Amino acid sequence: MTLFEQTVPVFARMLGNLDTLLDKAQAHAEVAKYDVAAVLSSRLFPDMFTLTRQVQLATDFAKGACARLAGQEVPRWEDTETTLPQLKARLRKALDYLASFTPAQFDQAATRAIELKTPVGVFHFTGDSFVSTWALPNFYFHVTTAYNLLRHNGVPVGKLDFIGKI
């Protein structure tokens, strides 16, 4: 399986599922008669990011991983979303960005040197190790946390909503 196959369609599928989960959050808020903004600002513990930030980070990890693997500059997106429609627009923007990649752009991805500068240090990877030890785990962490925040707030979603249509 190529790195393109391990990333682009996986990220796209899960971001699409996250978009559907947000639709379910909106529908639940309407039925239960509360402002969906309460869920968007929720967090599981005071030192954790909000649902809004989890969605932003999931899109960041998807776009960043694909750009790096393709040898491109990572696009910078401001994290200014505060409403559900804005978050859904960000998901659409990420899906459109992912759709712009071709398998040929990932031909050298497995051995490409990738350097990440983070607040906790600088990390060095090959494309292979980057995908398996950084990109996919971080992406799934944020998508899963978003799902858990929805469940924690009473949105009626289940495992098949997370996984998506098979």
Report the pLDDT value the prediction gives residue 83, as an integer from 0 to 100: 97
Question: Under a CB-based contact definition with an 8 Å cutoff, are residues 57 and 49 in contact?
Answer: yes
Q: 3-163: which CATH architecture?
A: Up-down Bundle (1.20)
Report the pLDDT value the prediction gives residue 4, as an integer from 0 to 100: 98
Where does 33-164 have alpha helices with state H? 37-40, 51-69, 84-99, 127-130, 136-152, 159-163
- The residue with greater pLDDT, 166 or 136, is 136
Please write the tens of the pLDDT for every residue from 61-93: 999 999 999 999 999 999 999 999 999 999 999
Residue 95 and residue 113: Cα distance in Å, rounded? 25
Mean pLDDT of 54-67: 98
